């Protein structure tokens, strides 16, 4: 869970609701003073009461969907979370022809990852709901800039690999949507993503750029043996999990190398 040098983003949430089993880390002390996900109000004395209401709200909405026969005991939990979110947002559709919108796919991707991190369904729902809102309000228009940043820093780190991608016409077809819009949910395992998402909660979406760059650098031998964008994407959309922690460590090093050490990461 918590790394020696980095603080797990969930620790902020758990401390806010009175659980202090996670080791205190100075690196992200600012998050203790400012709940950047907006899950709880600023007045700490109200947190336990608010969480009681949040728990009741969760079960009320979940029960309502069961009564409506929209979900049942066999419905995957993250799918139930999506329908709960849609109901609360006034976007629940009864049409049998309904297809998932991009925002729904994002919610499910984030929920599936947080489900592996959280020990409680209520926690998982509220963390997902507010994390998705955080992404939507803070980084909605950042994807194009992140793609350009990825190309810039990859070229600085390995111009030959960059040239190979251009020759193969693969540069524009890389899985940017998975990497940047979904924050690598479904691409990297939850255990490795925790440190990356710490940075996102702290306000830096640029860490995603350096994770993407480091993935390419780590697997550059593989990439240079592939000459078609579709085969590259098949590999990059589900990379081997045996060294993803190392990829994240090196990505953070790259982030510091090119951007300095932001105040919230010291």
Interval 211-232: pLDDT, tens: 999 999 999 999 999 999 999 9
Question: Burial level of 17, CB count in 10 A (0-12/13-18/19+)?
Answer: middle
Whose tokens are 């947002």? That residue is 89
Q: Identify the pLDDT of residue 238.
A: 84
By the 8 A CB rule, do 183 and 110 touch? Answer: yes
**Both tokens of residue 200?**
């996102």
If you average pLDDT over each of 16-25, 84-93, 136-145, 235-244, which comes out highest? 84-93
Q: How far apart are CA 266 and CA 261, in angstroms?
A: 7
Q: How many residues does the chain have?
A: 266
For residue 214, the enclosing domain spans: 141-266
CB-based contact 259:25 (threshold 8 Å): no
Cβ 44 vs Cβ 68: under 8 Å: no
Residues 41 and 163 placed together within one structural domain of the fold: no
Residue 58 has pLDDT above 80, yes or no: yes
Which of 115, 139, 163 is the endpoint of a domain?
A: 139
CA distances from 242 to 116, 180, 188, 246 (A): 17, 22, 10, 9
- The tens digit of pLDDT for each residue in 14-53 reads 544 444 434 433 333 333 334 567 777 777 788 788 889 9
pTM: 0.83
Query: 91-95, 144-148, 161-165, 224-228: which has the minimum mean pLDDT?
Result: 91-95
Question: 107, 124, 139: which is the final residue of a domain?
Answer: 139
Say whether both 73 and 145 belong to one domain.
no
In the chain, % of residues over pLDDT 70:
84
Is residue 150 pLDDT above 60, yes or no? Answer: yes
Confidence at residue 8, expressed as pLDDT on a 0 to 100 scale: 58
Nearest CA to 147 among 171, 130, 170, 123? Answer: 171
Are the C-beta atoms of 78 and 115 separated by less than 8 Å?
yes
Label residue 99 exposed, middle or buried (CB < 10 Å: 0-12, 13-18, 19+).
exposed
Which pLDDT value is given to residue 43? Answer: 79
In three-state secondary structure terms, 185 is strand
Whether residue 87 sits in one domain with residue 190 = no
Residue 180 and residue 163 share a domain: yes
Shared domain for 7 and 134, answered yes or no, is: yes
What digits encode the pLDDT tens for the residues 88-121?
999 998 776 778 899 999 999 999 999 998 888 9
Which residue, 139, 169, 193, sits at the end of a domain? 139
Number of domains in the chain: 2
Residues 216 and 154 in one domain: yes
Residue with tokens 């969480």: 51
């Amino acid at each position: 869970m918590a790394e020696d040098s980095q603080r797990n983003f969930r620790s902020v949430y758990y401390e806010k609701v009175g659980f202090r089993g996670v080791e205190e880390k100075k690196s992200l002390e600012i998050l203790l003073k400012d709940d950047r996900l907006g899950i709880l109000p600023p007045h700490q004395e109200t947190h336990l009461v608010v969480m009681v209401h949040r728990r009741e709200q969760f079960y009320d909405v979940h029960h309502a969907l069961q009564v409506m026969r929209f979900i049942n005991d066999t419905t995957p939990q993250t799918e139930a979370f999506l329908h709960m979110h849609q109901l609360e947002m006034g976007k629940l559709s009864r049409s049998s022809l309904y297809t998932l919108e991009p925002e729904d796919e994002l919610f499910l991707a984030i929920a599936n990852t947080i489900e592996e991190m959280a020990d409680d369904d209520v926690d998982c729902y509220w963390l997902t709901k507010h994390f998705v809102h955080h992404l939507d309000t803070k980084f909605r228009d950042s994807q194009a800039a992140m793609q350009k940043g990825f190309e810039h820093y990859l070229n600085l780190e390995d111009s030959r690999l960059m040239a190979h991608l251009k020759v193969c016409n693969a540069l524009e077809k890389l899985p940017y949507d998975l990497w940047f819009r979904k924050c690598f949910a479904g691409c990297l395992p939850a255990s490795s993503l925790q440190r990356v998402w710490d940075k996102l909660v702290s306000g830096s979406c640029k860490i995603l750029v350096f994770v993407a760059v480091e993935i390419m650098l780590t697997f550059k031998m593989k990439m240079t043996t592939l000459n078609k964008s579709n085969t590259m994407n098949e590999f990059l959309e589900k990379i081997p999990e045996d060294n993803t922690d190392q990829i994240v460590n090196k990505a953070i090093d790259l982030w510091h190398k090119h951007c300095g050490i932001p105040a919230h990461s010291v």
